[in-house]
Structure 1
């Protein structure tokens, strides 16, 4: 086994003392053949997949120190001992993490709490199970106002929202409030019952969480697999990939999607007892080469009249039963057909659905050696990628995923042509009291939209795709210069079209899309967008 070498923490003597009290050991990474070192090296080398590769990518703590933690308090101390909240760090976890050994730790680079692993208001962190394994027992992992996070090779079990003890609102892993770029890989998430027994979701995302991948994981024995969006009006989440996961003995929410885009491929769904992939409130799911077995109503829009959509291909339905449709219950089967199209911006290799149960059984979950599939139904150790060569700290993302290299400040000269926003629709991540999304497309510079905070997004959308290559963002009178940094996103695919600083005219390669989003990632106050004009160019 690799022997950790004690070194001084970057934050100075106070941080060193804090780490020592909490039982943190700082380790210099070494290339050894031990099982522990091998697991960590593979975690760094494998590289993120799916939507977690978009929006600048997800590298976690690559390039930072490696710290060993055997208690929840030690995990918090490692976060608090960093020079800043964005200093990269890899936290190796071994042993059982529970309420008895998880206490709040204070510091300028962290915001922690008792009774939950709190990854809050931070970035550039990898949390990876090593050695004999890491089990979070009745203790959830809470990711909030955070970006560039990797959680890998851990088990989280029996997290409750009622009864005793409670943690993380009953979610095994929960993300909320402006979360960006999270990769959860080779984890086991399990409960011992449903809501009546005190449990909630295994893998939940809400309140503006985007660019997340769940891969090679096991979710089982729960009433609720997970959700994307907390209500029919909370539609700021999306761009989620689920691949090579096992959903076993789940009543519903595998997952529940409210708005946004999700991509499910090469998953094995076994014994979904009530319903499976629940696409609602305009959500669009690409359901690709999955294996559904001994389950009920595995795809559709359930328990609502707010329809969602799906594109299906290559799936196997083995022992699946379908209910009759009703007003608020619309299964996709038994004649499962696509009712939308979804464009995926990243490369991926598909295993044939027929071999998915075998591949997933050998690769999914904690303690499986981080094996992956090569796209031809053969589990293997993942090949190193460019992620493994990162030797410098990752750029510091803001909570909303600002691009690290903004483009030049735009000018205010408008493009020629017709403003396509007039007569279009609009929505967004949030709106301040007295403002409206519709104000950005009404042609009236005296009305405006503001987010419910210093950052947020607003979108213009059409009933069918249009070609757009330019837009103009006009700030309301008296607020010029408030918008500092921004991104323009193709809301159909999640691809970032361009990014930059300051309001004005913005150009990018001509793109066919049905929804374009202007996301404010940094401001000098409360932004006020009077007009969001769009042009074919």
Structure 2
């Protein structure tokens, strides 16, 4: 593995009785925190602020809410929970909407907020399509496995797609994911084309896809731009993080992990300002690729950790191995940059759905902002994964700060495709497994840290695999606690630099998704 290098720059018809409908709840803005980036320009992005708030648990209910408004521009906030899929999504007709059965259709409308609440909102194999629309906020939802081929199909294979004169869209704290690339039937996670402008994608996760997303569908589709990408995680992506064709993009404080073919592909005259991002275990993370029509970039403060670069030639023009600015880009809005070195930590705590809508305070510290408008306190989303099994029903869940976030980790030999770092990334979809049926995983700090409680959370599909275990003070080898089964484990408060969870027996291959540590 290469040593990290910091490089500065030069310069929503009737609804059937069995289908839930949208019901009025209250008048308030559901969005938390402030709009950022280019979505603040061109008059700003307010979504459904000031409009009625309704609740929807089906795609049909979302469409009904849109079609029940006085006009196509009447503000509305739609709070969504549960799983939205083809089975509960039908076309609804009305004067204030233009919907479809195979997607969530936000077409020829404006002034909408779509926000996940309660235990989470998942759009399963059903994409969100924005067309001829403006002033829309999408927040705190998961969109997964949207296909353009196979069955079912939706939205041309895009998780979120925008096209044909779209303005002022803020997509925030969402998780967009696929299960493969174009050959498996998937397309882009976040695609903008045909005159789409003033868009921000923030605090989101894009993963497990062949294509992250694009701005512009072809080298002649150059009417798009003014897009901001910040505090997002791109993980296990082949390319397009994003692909830029013309226009201007501001790309800062993103964490890129496992980009297999290429990353930010600026081409056909696009100009990108690329600031304080962290690129890790990736290839050709910036440049012009697969075309001879060049794009441009202004770079500053990025970290390239185990990044490899192709040799230039033909339609391959990587910016590295020593990226330098070849343009300047003026940014018209204020923003605060986190240091690139803390981007992995702050993004792991804030990015994606069901993270409590936390944002960075600009100094590498997550915070939950107060609502921007008066009204009832927002519902704090809870993770959709099962609660961990605890050693005894009377053991309270951990509280306080998870000290593992931002710490280090190591362990015994790991199974192929797993990682020590996955136990401290706040993501239940990733995990560490030992190379065999037993093994150990440790959390470590640079200075002595007091710990009195840990929480071992098993990944989905592996609950109950962990048998007996020991918790060890790795500084001196002292055994702090023994027992069996995953969950919350308490012991006397101990000051240490490294704490080890050693699995001594198991009923199947253990999968530790999160190894949380707490002071009390």
TM-score (norm 2): 0.68
- By how many angstroms is 1:384 displaced? 4.4
- By how many angstroms is 1:44 displaced? 2.4
Number of positions where the alignment pairs a residue of Structure 1 with one of Structure 2: 363
1:117 — aligned with what?
104
- By how many angstroms is 1:204 displaced? 0.1
Q: 1:24 aligns with which of 14, 21, 26?
A: 21
Tell me, in whole angstroms, the C-alpha distance in 1 between the residues paired with 2:110 and 2:17.
Answer: 23
Detail structure 1 runs of 4+ shifted over 2 Å in the superposition. 17-30
- By how many angstroms is 1:327 displaced? 1.4
Q: 1:300 aligns with which of 273, 278, 287?
A: 287
* Alignment partner of 1:367 is 2:367: no
Q: 1:207 aligns with which of 166, 191, 194?
A: 194
Cα deviations across residues 311-359 of structure 1 (Å, max 9, x unaligned)?
A: 0000000010000001111000001100000000000000000000000
**SS of equivalent residue, structure 1 residue 226:** strand
Does structure 2 conserve the Cα–Cα contact (< 8 Å) formed by 1:19 and 1:78? no
Tell me, in whole angstroms, the C-alpha distance in 1 between the residues paired with 2:326 and 2:214.
Answer: 21
* Alignment partner of 1:138 is 2:118: no
Q: 1:129 aligns with which of 99, 116, 126?
A: 116
| Structure 2: gaps spanning 5 or more residues | 1-12, 376-520
Cα deviations across residues 143-200 of structure 1 (Å, max 9, x unaligned)?
A: 0000000000000000000011000000000000000000000000000000000000
Question: Cα RMSD between the aligned structures?
Answer: 1.6
**SS of equivalent residue, structure 1 residue 103:** coil
Tell me, in whole angstroms, the C-alpha distance in 2 between the residues paired with 1:83 and 1:272.
Answer: 46
**SS of equivalent residue, structure 2 residue 335:** coil
Does structure 2 conserve the Cα–Cα contact (< 8 Å) formed by 1:19 and 1:77? no
2:318 — aligned with what?
331
**SS of equivalent residue, structure 1 residue 29:** strand
Does structure 2 conserve the Cα–Cα contact (< 8 Å) formed by 1:19 and 1:81? no
Q: 2:238 aligns with which of 251, 269, 286?
A: 251
Tell me, in whole angstroms, the C-alpha distance in 1 between the residues paired with 2:98 and 2:79.
Answer: 20
1:102 — aligned with what?
89
TM-score (norm 1): 0.66
Cα deviations across residues 251-303 of structure 1 (Å, max 9, x unaligned)?
A: 00000000000000000000000000000000000000000000000000000
- By how many angstroms is 1:18 displaced? 6.2
**SS of equivalent residue, structure 1 residue 366:** coil
Tell me, in whole angstroms, the C-alpha distance in 1 between the residues paired with 2:15 and 2:58.
Answer: 14
Tell me, in whole angstroms, the C-alpha distance in 1 between the residues paired with 2:24 and 2:95.
Answer: 22
Name the structure where helix makes up a greater proportion of residues. 1
Does structure 2 conserve the Cα–Cα contact (< 8 Å) formed by 1:26 and 1:65? no
| Structure 1: gaps spanning 5 or more residues | 1-14, 31-39, 391-537
1:356 — aligned with what?
343
**SS of equivalent residue, structure 2 residue 272:** strand
Tell me, in whole angstroms, the C-alpha distance in 2 between the residues paired with 1:382 and 1:368.
Answer: 13
Does structure 1 conserve the Cα–Cα contact (< 8 Å) formed by 2:25 and 2:55? no
